[in-house]
Amino acid sequence: MAALVRSQSAPDDKAKIWSTRVNARTIRIGVKTWWSDHDNSICPEVNTLIEDGELDNLEAVKHDGWGERWRIVCAKDDVTVRSNGPDEKPDTEDDIYEPSR
């Protein structure tokens, strides 16, 4: 299982951004690994990845650095993991994508 970085409890957005990027990358790898044993036309949720042992059951996996749920978008054989970022609103400039845009 891949190791995850827990977000700091201090309100340091730089640390939250960094840990969110690392954890989004880990989730993306988890999806790709999950696909090796499952139908890759299915886009798994984080809970599925945890239940199937691809990810550890940690708060950092379930939520980004601001406590928001991850958005996983699958298209063809690729996956993008998204966080709403510091403003916690979707589709704004501070959203975090893995892979980066």
Chain segment 8-55, per-residue pLDDT in tens: 444 588 999 999 999 999 999 999 999 999 999 999 999 999 999 999
pLDDT of 12 reads 86
Instruction: Report the pLDDT averaged over residues 72-80.
Output: 95
* In the block, residue with structure tokens 């988890």: 30
* Domain spanning 13-98, CATH class: alpha beta
Six token digits for residue 26: 């880990």
Taking 3-state DSSP, the helix, strand and coil percentages for the chain, each rounded to the nearest 5, stand at: 35, 15, 50
H or E element, residue 15 = helix 13-35
pTM of the model: 0.86
